[in-house]
Amino acid sequence: MSKVLVSDPIDQVGIDILSQVATVDIKTTLKPDELKAIIGEYDALMIRSGTRVTQDIIEAGVKLKIIGRAGVGVDNVDVPAATRKGIVVVNSPEGNTIAAAEHALAMMLSLSRHIPDANASVKRGEWDRKSYVGSEVYKKTLGVVGLGKIGSHVASVAKAMGMKLLAYDPFISTERAEQLGCQLVELNLLFQQADYITLHIPKTSETANLINAKTLALMKPTTRIINCARGGIIDEAALAVAIKEGTIAGAALDVFDSEPLGESDLLGLGKNIILTPHLGASTAEAQVNVAIDVAEQIRDVLLGLPARSAVNIPGLGPDVLEGFKPYMELAETLGNLVGQLTGGRVETLNVTLQGDLATNKSQPLIIAALKGLLYQALRERVNYVNANIEAKERGIRVIETRDASARDYAGLLHLQATGTLGTHSVTGALLGDKEIHLTDIDGFPINVPPSKYMLFTLHRDVPGIIGKLGSLLGSFNVNIASMQVGRKIVRGDAVMALSIDDPLPEGILEEIKKVSGIRDAYTVTL
C-alpha cells in the first residue's frame, strides 16, 4: 500500500479520501531536518503553506510521485526540482478563492474603520469614539494588482460597494477587465491614483519587492495597502517606514516575508496596520474544498491516473487530458516504437500531426511522444512531468510539422527519429477513436495494431521469405500471433510486422538477419 505524509493541518475529509488508497501519516510539526529524514518512505506529500519543500527534501524523497498543495500558492515548493525528478506538483486553483477574496475585503473595511483596535479598546473597558473615526470606501479608488481568480472576485464585490476600480495585470485582456468594471492601467499610475491597493499576484522573481521605497513614494498619503497574496511582494522595512512617516496611511497584511512573523518593524505601528497570521484560506468551506481537491488528485496519481491541476505538466489540464488520452497513448506507443527501431542516441524527433491532429494543441502529444521515446533509457523515471526536460537535457531536437490532410484516416501521427545509428519512422492512427493502429513503418504502408512483443523485418519482396522466417521462428518455439507485409512496389523492398506471443529468445535476431533476402530485423517490446 502507498504511504502519504500530511505535513500541515488538512481537513479530515481529505485524510479520508487518501485513506481509501494509502496509509496516511499526519505529522504537522516536523522541522526541515525531520522531514528530510523520513520523506524517503513516502509516495506522496500533502502540504499547505507551512511546509517548505526544498530541493533537499525532494532529493531525499526517493519514492515521491506527487506533492499536493492544499491551496493555491506553490512558492514554498521547489517546482523545478520536483519536475526534474518527475514528481507531479498539484494544487487547488479555486478551492480557496472566495475565502482569500473575502479576507482581503474584510481587511480593507477593517483598516478603513479601525475595527481591530476599536474592538480591543472596548475590551479593555474604554469607550473611545474619537480615536477611531474612519473613512468610507464608497467612491474611493481601489487598485487591484493581479486580476486573476481572487482579484476578480474582490473587484466585483468592491464594484458593488461603489468603488472605482483600476487594475494592473499584464496577462489580462482589456475586455476581461472591462467586464469586471476595471480600467486596466500601468502599475505606476495605479500606485499614484489608488486610495486602496490590493495585491492578488503570485510571488515570482518579477513580483518580489514590487512595493518598495520607490513605489511607496508614488502613493498618496491617504493610500492603504492590503496584501493577502504573498509575503516578499512588499519590502516590509520600507513599508514600516512609509507608514511611520505618513507617506501612506496604512496597511493590512495577511502574509509575510518570513512566517511566522516574529520580530518585525511592522509591529508597533498602532491602528494603521492590521496583521493576521496567514488566514486568507482559513475558512471551514475553503479547507473542505482544498482538502477534497488535492486529496482526490493524490489518490488518482497513486492509482496511476492523471491529475486535474498539475502545475508542472504544461498544457495538460483536465479538459485536454479528457479528450486527448487515446491520442496521447498513440503518441507514447509510437515514440516508444520509433525509439527502439532507431536505437542509440536520438538527436532529432520530427513530429508530424496530420488531419484532425493538426491543431494548436500539439504540446500534450509531443510530451507523450517524448515520454515513449525516452522509455528505453529511463524506464519508469520518465513521465509526463519530466519528459520535456529530459529530452532537452539529452539534446533531442523536436521539430513539429502540421499537415491538415490525412489520407484514409481522420488524424495521423507521424514520428521520425534520427540518431547516432540511423533514421526510422512510424505512423499511427486511432480506429474508432480509441484503437491504436500502425499505418506505416519506414515509409511502408501497413495496418496492424501494436502488440507487446513485435518483430519487424526489412526484406526483398521475393517468394519464400515469409516461409523461411516462419520456420526459423518455429524452430525457436516462437509463436506468431499475426503477421503483415507492407510494400510499395511488387518485388521491391518490403517490411514485415509480426506480433509474437513472447519476447524473442537471445540470439535469434542475428539468425533472422542471416536469412537470404532479409536486410535487417528489429525486435521491440511495447
Ligand X SMILES: NC(=O)C1=CN([C@@H]2O[C@H](COP(=O)(O)OP(=O)(O)OC[C@H]3O[C@@H](n4cnc5c(N)ncnc54)[C@H](O)[C@@H]3O)[C@@H](O)[C@H]2O)C=CC1
Alpha helices by DSSP H, 93-168: 97-113, 115-123, 149-160
- Structure letter (DSSP) for residue 29: S
Span from 275-283, 315-323, 423-431, 491-499 in contact with ligand HPV (CB under 6 A): 275-283
Task: Give the span between the Cα atoms of 415 and 349, in whole angstroms.
Answer: 7
Q: Which is nearer to ligand HPV, 280 or 419 (CB)?
A: 280
Neighbours of 277 (CB within 10 A): 11
Q: From the list 52, 149, 220, 513, which residue makes contact with ligand X (rule: CB under 6 A)? A: 149
Residue 181 Cβ vs ligand HPV, minimum distance, rounded to whole Å: 25
Among ligand X, ligand HPV, none, what does residue 147 contact (CB within 5–8 Å per kind)? ligand X
Residue 364 Cβ vs ligand HPV, minimum distance, rounded to whole Å: 27
Question: In b/e form, how buried is each residue of 336-355, taking b as 16+ CB within 10 angstroms?
Answer: bbbbbbbeeebeebbbbbbb
Strands 141-145 and 164-168: parallel
Among ligand HPV, ligand X, none, what does residue 48 contact (CB within 5–8 Å per kind)? ligand HPV
Strands 2-6 and 422-431: unpaired
By CB atoms closer than 10 A (0-12, 13-18, 19+), residue 460 is middle
Interaction of residue 158 with ligand X, rule CB under 6 A = no
Residue 119 Cβ vs ligand HPV, minimum distance, rounded to whole Å: 23
The DSSP secondary structure of 311-339, one letter per residue, reads TTSTT--HHHHHHHHHHHHHHHHHHHHHH
Interaction of residue 8 with ligand X, rule CB under 6 A = no
Whose cell is 526517493? That residue is 62
Residue 55 Cβ vs ligand X, minimum distance, rounded to whole Å: 21
Cell of 463: 517468394
Q: Could you tell me if residue 407 is left (phi over 0), alpha (psi between -120 and 50 degrees) or otherwise beta? A: beta
Amino acid at 338: V
Amino acid at 289: N
* Per-residue x/- track, 61-80, ligand X (CB under 6 A): ----------xxx-------
**Is 278 one of the catalytic residues?**
yes
* Per-residue x/- track, 93-132, ligand HPV (CB under 6 A): ---x------------------------------------
Q: Which of 48, 84, 230, 414 is catalytic?
A: 230
Q: Which of 136, 178, 186, 259 is catalytic?
A: 259
Number of chain residues interacting with ligand X (CB under 6 A) = 31
Q: How far is it between the farthest Cα atoms of the chain? A: 107
Residue 273 Cβ vs ligand HPV, minimum distance, rounded to whole Å: 20
Cell of 60: 531525499
Interaction of residue 510 with ligand X, rule CB under 6 A = no
**Is 347 one of the catalytic residues?**
no
Q: Which is nearer to ligand X, 187 or 320 (CB)?
A: 187
Partner residues linked to 225 by β-bridges: 197, 251
Q: Which is nearer to ligand X, 250 or 280 (CB)?
A: 280
Contact 337, 526 (CB under 8 A): yes
Interaction of residue 177 with ligand X, rule CB under 6 A = no
Interaction of residue 154 with ligand HPV, rule CB under 6 A = no
Q: Which is nearer to ligand HPV, 201 or 446 (CB)?
A: 201
Listed residue (136, 137, 195) closest to 166, CA to CA: 195
Amino acid at 202: P
* Per-residue x/- track, 59-88, ligand HPV (CB under 6 A): -----------xxxx---------------
Amino acid at 350: N
**Is 394 one of the catalytic residues?**
no
* Per-residue x/- track, 191-230, ligand X (CB under 6 A): ---------xxx---xx--------------------xxx
Listed residue (454, 443, 423, 448) closest to 493, CA to CA: 443
3-state secondary structure of 445: strand
By annotation, the residues acting in catalysis are 230, 259, 278
Binding residues for ligand X (CB under 6 A)? 71-73, 96-97, 100, 145-151, 168-172, 200-202, 206-207, 228-230, 254-255, 278, 280-281
**Residue ranges binding ligand HPV (CB under 6 A):** 48-50, 70-73, 96, 278, 280-282
